[in-house]
């Protein structure tokens, strides 16, 4: 699939030297299409219009774009506190966004890249038997222990088991998968809030993070997903998955700016290695396609 990035599209607008009304309109359309959100698109276009009077050129517009997009976009460095006996990352999100795959990628990342000793996967998606098996298979391939109680088990109990066994074995990190649930289904989101409540009694909240997986190909809907999950349980960090499959992905900007949720990782493919810590500069490079440096990559500890 040929992807035409936001930057290439914008650069193509500037065939002449004049910034006219047609160009401004096209620019707004392109920004909205990239999922940066209509409010930010209008702000950027407003800036460009103001600059047009002062004879802005293409490079200046690209600069404004990079700065505006990166304002409010936060990266978080999610890693277990070495002082903690055990840390829990609860992976959540809507159906099919990439949760289970991200669990496996995260397990590999923490063990192989960060050298965390003792990474465990917990099969908290007990909704379908196939979901448990999917995680078990990843565990076998990676050589990572998977705690599971089969289908229909209580997810909070699976996570409790994983935490207790990890503590007794001296393992440091539990990554728990959960069932995909539609953000619009209040009952399912309510179940997640219940899991969260039970889990919070079993672990020091300082070492517990709720990590939401956002599929970058779902567009504007991703914002609503994040908003409703955030309202229900409080999302600590997000993973932008499938960023290799789309030239859009502007949704991360909206989620981070408006909800204050920082991004921890970027999922860029189906292999275990295709997960990288979220970097604002790298994200912008992929979104806009230009070497940009915002100086805004000051990660805060997660």
Ligand X SMILES: Nc1nc2c(ncn2[C@@H]2O[C@H](COP(=O)(O)OP(=O)(O)OP(=O)(O)O)[C@@H](O)[C@H]2O)c(=O)[nH]1
Please report, as ranges, the residues that interact with Mg ion according to CB under 5 A: 99-100
Smallest separation, CB 101 to ligand X (Å): 3
Q: What are phi and psi of 119, to 5 degrees?
A: -110, 135
DSSP one-letter code for 109: I
Instruction: Choose which of 70, 87, 97, 225 interacts with ligand X (CB under 6 A).
Output: 97
Smallest separation, CB 90 to ligand X (Å): 13
68 burial via Cβ count (<10 Å: 0-12, 13-18, 19+): buried
- 10 Å Cβ neighbour count for 2? 4
241 binds ligand X (CB under 6 A): yes
Instruction: Choose which of 5, 7, 80, 267 interacts with ligand X (CB under 6 A).
Output: 267
Task: Measure the CA–CA gap between 205 and 137, rounded to whole angstroms.
Answer: 30
Residues in the chain, overall count: 302
158 binds ligand X (CB under 6 A): no
Nearest to 87 by CA among 175, 168, 212, 195: 175
Which residues within the stretch 55-94 sit at the binding site for ligand X (CB under 6 A)? Answer: 93
Task: Measure the CA–CA gap between 236 and 225, rounded to whole angstroms.
Answer: 14
**How many amino acids of this chain bind ligand X (CB under 6 A)?**
20
183 binds ligand X (CB under 6 A): no
95 binds ligand X (CB under 6 A): yes
282 binds ligand X (CB under 6 A): no
Contact residues for ligand X, defined by CB under 6 A: 93, 95-101, 125, 131, 180, 241-242, 244-245, 267-270, 274
């Amino acid at each position: 699939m040929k992807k035409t990035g936001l930057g290439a599209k914008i650069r193509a607008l500037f065939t002449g030297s004049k910034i006219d009304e047609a160009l401004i309109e096209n620019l707004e359309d392109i920004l909205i299409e990239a999922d940066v959100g209509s409010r930010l698109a209008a702000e950027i276009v407003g800036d460009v219009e103001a600059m047009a009077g002062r004879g802005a050129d293409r490079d200046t517009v690209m600069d404004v774009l990079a700065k505006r997009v990166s304002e409010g976009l936060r990266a978080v460095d999610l890693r277990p506190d070495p002082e903690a006996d055990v840390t829990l990352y609860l992976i959540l999100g809507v159906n099919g966004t990439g949760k289970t795959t991200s669990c496996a990628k995260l397990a590999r990342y923490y063990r192989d890249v960060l050298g965390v000793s003792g990474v465990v996967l917990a099969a908290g998606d007990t909704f379908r038997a196939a979901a448990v098996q999917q995680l078990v298979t990843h565990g076998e391939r990676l050589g990572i222990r998977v705690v599971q109680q089969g289908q229909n088990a209580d997810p909070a109990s699976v996570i409790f088991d994983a935490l207790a066994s990890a503590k007794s074995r001296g393992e440091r990190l539990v990554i728990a998968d959960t069932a995909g649930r539609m953000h619009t289904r209040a009952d399912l989101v309510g179940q997640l809030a219940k899991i969260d409540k039970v889990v919070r009694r079993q672990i020091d909240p300082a070492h517990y993070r709720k990590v939401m997986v956002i599929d970058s190909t779902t567009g504007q809907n991703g914002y609503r997903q994040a908003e409703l999950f955030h309202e229900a349980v409080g999302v600590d960090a997000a993973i932008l998955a499938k960023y290799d499959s789309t030239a859009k992905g502007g949704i991360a900007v909206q989620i981070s700016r408006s909800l204050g949720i920082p991004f921890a990782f970027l999922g860029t493919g189906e292999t275990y290695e295709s997960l990288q810590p979220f970097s604002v500069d790298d994200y912008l490079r992929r979104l806009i396609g230009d070497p940009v440096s915002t100086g805004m990559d000051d990660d805060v500890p997660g």
